[in-house]
Amino acid sequence: MTLPFAMTAPFRIAPLSVIEHATRLVFAQVVQQHPDLFDRLGEHADKRYAFVPTDLPVGFLVEPSARRISVHRKPHLPVAQACMGGKLVLLLALLEGQIDGDAVFFSRSLTITGDMEAMLALRNALDDCNIDLPADIARMSGPFAPLVRRAAAEIRTRALSREAATWN
Amino acid sequence: MELICPAGTPAAFREAVDAGADAVYCGFRDETNARNFPGLNFSRDELKTAIAYARQRKVMTFVAINTFMRAGQEKLWHDAVDDAVRLGADALILADFGLMAYTAERHPEQRLHVSVQASASNADAVKFLVETFGAKRVVLPRILTIPDIARLARQISCEIEVFVFGGLCVMAEGRCSLSSYATGKSPNMHGVCSPASHVRYREDGSELVSELGDYTINRFPAGEAAGYPTLCKGRFDIAEERGYAFEDPVSLDVMDHIDALRDAGVGALKIEGRQRGKAYVAEVVSIMRRAVAANADERPALLSRLRRLSEGQKTTSGAYEKRWR
């Protein structure tokens, strides 16, 4: 299962600067809503984390201590201490703690390379934060917030139910 | 029977409570508990909030302080006990006899449970802990058959808790030195088995290779479910065969035997998995809650959903249904 084409198409056709700007807006919103997000990282907050969706032409680099995210076209991904790869829908589900990272890893739907300790710390920090992307994105949508939240939540539900079926 | 559920984070704790746990067990964010993984566990303030959340819903909180004290650094463990008592833990899960003695002397009213890490597996050992430290419950090592448990139950006066689902260790709980041999750190002394700092996964062609320290643990061909990078689950060349020397990468699942365990004298069923995410905790606890209440013939359909969450995506009844002797 992948996310609807309408959601992934911008990553394929839009200029990188536009993708990065939009990504940074969402990231800032998540950090604002969850100020304790990176507290559990401890010494690992200074490391660089790469998230590489296998179904998109771009990858994301997160630097927790700087509260910064950047977007890079494949294969020109910068060096990171820890890297996680998988379908975008899985990476987003892990971000929200909607699925169990170990179970997905056992199923080989997810790859983790580099500093395992750092990635484990980040996984646990994210898992504790109750991030709700539809709600966070909706907060940026002004009067359309209820509509955006409903639509995003519906997409998430459908994507995850189909994805879960593939690792059964 | 009580359902004792794991929580590695406050979010997982709330999920366990809401999903139907009778008690949730957790630990402090340091070496005093056997799941001392990065980003996991509770600060004192988080535990205080969690205990209040559970108590409002009539759920108990057990605090695992189940590693072994190091000489000269006992204060870390003593402080953990003092703080867990002060914060209102319903029971402390302890493995170190010295720490049990400290707890019994300083906090005689505190309920004390014997951790699986204490490896108390016979009547003499359990009786000693009950009589000497006032232990109210023993968590049995996963080395006994159900008839063994029934025989033991007739000889001891404390409650019995057993693991029924989740990760499975080799049959030397509290005494396993495999992780220490490979990395210098062990679950018994540092709270970490196969610490993530020593783990590496890499792709080699179509194979996924897991490494721990200087050791290759396993090579998983394409399509084969992966497992934890622990030596006990390693696949090695032995003589002319390649195979699992200690145990297969599978998880424990003895929920098919709930009725037999109850008849044997077991009063509490424990789910392993403080290192797992809140999604795992919510799903496993919810299914187990329904399974405990269900008739025997209804359980298989409920429990079949759990296998995909397991290590290696396979489960075993382990020693509870020992067939190799």
Exposure string of B236-255, with b = 16+ CB inside 10 Å and e = fewer, is eeeeeeeebebbebbbbbbb
Tell me which chain A residues have a C-beta less than 8 angstroms from the C-beta of B279. 97-100
Is B5 annotated as contributing to ligand binding? no
Is the torsion defined by CA of B122, B124, B129, B135 positive or negative? positive
pLDDT at A168: 39
Indicate if B142 and B263 belong to the same structural domain.
Answer: yes
Question: B111 with B190, same domain?
Answer: no
Residues in B touching A168 (Cβ below 8 Å): 308
First to last CA, chain A: 13
Residue-level pLDDT at A164: 57
* Same domain, yes or no: B21 and B155: yes
Going from the N-terminus, what domains does chain A have, and what CATH number goes with each?
5-131 (3.30.1050.10)
Closest Cα in chain A to B7? A128
Within this chain, do residues B52 and B161 fall inside the same structural domain, yes or no? Answer: yes
Based on the fold, state whether residues B149 and B9 are members of the same structural domain: yes
Helix (H, G, I), strand (E, B) or coil at A3: coil
Q: Which of B219, B231, B167, B171 is nearest to B195 (CA)?
A: B231
Q: Are residues B236 and B302 in the same domain?
A: no
Are B277 and A105 a contacting pair at CB < 8 A?
Answer: no
- For residue A127, what is the DSSP state? H
Whole-number pLDDT of residue A3? 66
pLDDT band, residue B309 (cuts 50/70/90): confident
Kindly state whether residues B45 and B110 are assigned to the same domain.
yes
Residues B221 and A28: their CA atoms lie apart, in Å, by 40
Q: List the single residue in A42, A106, A124 with the smallest CB-CB distance to B226.
A: A106
Domain endpoint, select from B244, B259, B274:
B244
List the single best residue of A84, A99, A100, A104 to mutate versus B (max B Cβ within 10 A): A100
Shared-domain flag, residues B34 and B91? yes
Query: The domain containing residue B101 runs over which residues?
Result: 2-168+250-321
pLDDT score for A122: 94
In this prediction, residue B5 carries a pLDDT of 97
Strand-pairing partners, residue B180, are: none
Q: What is the CATH number of the domain that holds B29?
A: 3.20.20.70
Confidence of residue B67 (pLDDT cuts 50, 70, 90): very high
What are the structure tokens assigned to B257, written together? 């035997």
- DSSP letter assigned to residue A77: P
Q: Last residue of a domain, which of B229, B244, B259?
A: B244
| Total number of domains in chain B | 2
* Partner-chain contact B38 A128, CB within 8 Å: no
- Residue A2's pLDDT is 61
Cβ–Cβ < 8 Å for A108, A90: no
B173 assigned to some structural domain: no
Integer Cα distance of A126 and A34 in angstroms:
10
Does the pLDDT of residue B233 top 70, yes or no?
Answer: yes
Q: What is the pLDDT of residues B14-37, one digit of tens each?
A: 999 999 999 999 999 999 999 999
User: Among the three residues B244, B267, B282, which one is the final residue of a domain in this structure?
Assistant: B244
Same domain as B122, residue B24: yes
**Inter-chain contact B38–A124, Cβ cutoff 8 Å?**
yes
Based on the domain organization, do B27 and B138 belong to the same domain?
A: yes
Q: What is the pLDDT of residue A167?
A: 46
For residue B39, is it within any domain? yes
Q: B135 and B205 share a domain?
A: no
Set of chain B residues whose Cβ sits within 8 Å of the Cβ of A99: 277, 279
SS (H, E, C) chain B: CEEEEECCCHHHHHHHHHHCCCEEEECECCCCCCCCCCCCCECHHHHHHHHHHHHHCCCEEEEEECCCCCCCCHHHHHHHHHHHHHHCCCEEEECCHHHHHHHHHHCCCCCEEECHHHCCCCHHHHHHHHHHHCCCEEECCCCCCHHHHHHHHHHCCCEEEEEEEECCCCCCCCCCCHHHHHHCCCCCCCCCCCCHHHEEEEEECCEEEEEECCEEEEEECCCCCCCCCCHHHCEEEECCEEEECCCCCCEEECHHHHHHHHHHCCCEEEECCCCCCHHHHHHHHHHHHHHHHCCHHHHHHHHHHHHHHCHHHCEECHHHHCCCC
Residue B144 lies in a domain: yes
Residues B149 and B256 reside in one and the same domain: yes
Identify the H or E element spanning A24: helix A16-33
Residue B158 annotated in ligand binding: no
Cβ contact, residue pair A129, B11, below 8 Å:
yes
Taking Cα atoms as reference points, which of B39, B166, B223 lies closest to residue A116? B39
Average pLDDT over residues B66-88: 97
| Mean pLDDT over each residue of chain B, to the nearest integer | 92
For residue range A110-163, list pLDDT tens digits in order.
989 999 999 999 999 999 998 988 888 888 877 777 877 887 787 777 777 766
CB B46 within 8 A of CB B169: no
Q: Is B26 known as a binding-site position?
A: no
Distance (Å) from the alpha carbon of A19 to chain B's nearest alpha carbon: 30
Q: Which residues of B touch A101 (CB under 8 A)?
A: 277
Residue B220 lies in a domain: yes
Residue B144 has pLDDT above 70, yes or no: yes
